[in-house]
Structure 1
Amino acid sequence: MTVQNILHIDSSARGGRSGTDARGSHTRRLTHRFIERWTGFRPGDFVTYRDIGRVPPSPVSGDWIAAAFTPPERRDGAARDRLTESDALVAELIRADLVVIGAPMYNFGVPAQLKAWIDNVVRVGMTFGFDRSRKGEPYWPMLEPGKRLVILASRGDYGYDAGGRLEAMNLVERGIAVPMGYLGLTEAHYVAIEYDEFADERLEASIRDAEVGVDKLVGRLVAETEGAIAPVYATT
């Protein structure tokens, strides 16, 4: 069995998990369930965990841009130091076969800490290529093909999915999938919890549906990984 490398990212500012901790995060709940289910079937896979909700990456600055767009052989010590964090985040992304991101909706988009992570891993010469003299498209993805992306979201309101009343206002999934697709990570899967601000039976039903959705998604992706029939989960 080929070992899969999984990059697990939590971006919620809330600590803990809903259903376990008071005022815990719904997205942490879903990512935890996903990883728990996955490793239950594939305990030999390697999981790298980044809690950027608690330890956010540094935002891009003018010095970062200057360093990133300087050819590696011409960077001085200060430039190399400025990119140390970004280099580590890029290495994790390049190594990953499966990227699982917990992404709560903040004001219709992704949390600032998740945007900072995205900005740190979109790196010319490392995750995407650029050549202004290249015929046709001057940009191209540099990630190895076959990587998969899972976005586990939460929303205070409802109706953000395709065809929903607020579909046009949902900038979360697109805000992640578009830049990741630009790097070559084009296969994306989504599960979300809604109705958080209502805190009633609709929220509870949405949580149950999302957990079933996570279980089914894990089963399908594990089956695709192993070329087998999807495992059947006993949902709770």
Structure 2
Amino acid sequence: MAALASAALILGLGLAPSAALADEISGVTTITKEASAQEVAPGETFTYTITVGCSSITENGCFDAQVTDLVPDEFEIVDVAVGGAASDTPAIDGQSIVVDFTEDLGGGIQGLWDSSTATITVTVRVRDDLPYEANGVPLDNHASITSSNSETKEDVATVVPVIPCSSRRMPRSPWIRPVPSPCREPRSPRRSAARTPPTRRWTPSRSRIPRIRTPHPVPSSTWASPASAP
């Protein structure tokens, strides 16, 4: 009964079916996102591939279909290309990319056709000045598709930057305090093994040894007894 009432209202107002049902959930969108590399280095260029689709039983497609992609700050956007469906020129604002699909669905409505698939290729470059602290930290790139007659869908692609240690050294200067390199793990303090003191053999001190003095003999030529004196 509700469906018949809606149809009667549409016919009574003289509206096109697609325009009257634009705010109802009559379509299903899909989105997948993949990265061409899992690990990236500073200065390296790689691509994100976003694939979106639409299916609808009661309508011609997904109305006002729009894809939004948020590129991490660690990457520079080089190029954005759209294939498989008509769309406006991708709008790039900072790290945000917005693509509006413009297939003619009838009744003055644009979007994605039913049973259609479109691909968005985003080429990015890893920033050269990426700090070493970003090494090994996963970076998520979120993309979503919205439509006025379907629910919002989202997908994410993750890459991990691999940053080698810099080989440049600071010039030696008495006014610059050396800074430890973040690439090296701090050294653990050395633990000296317990040493056993060497055993010494006891020897008596020389001062404690009694000295025996012997009288020096007097030469016979210079000594005479009292009895032999004249």
What's the TM-score once normalised by structure 1's chain length? 0.22
Which structure ranks higher in relative contact order (CA pairs < 8 Å, sequence separation ≥ 6)? 2
* Structure showing the higher helix proportion among its residues: 1
What's the TM-score once normalised by structure 2's chain length? 0.22
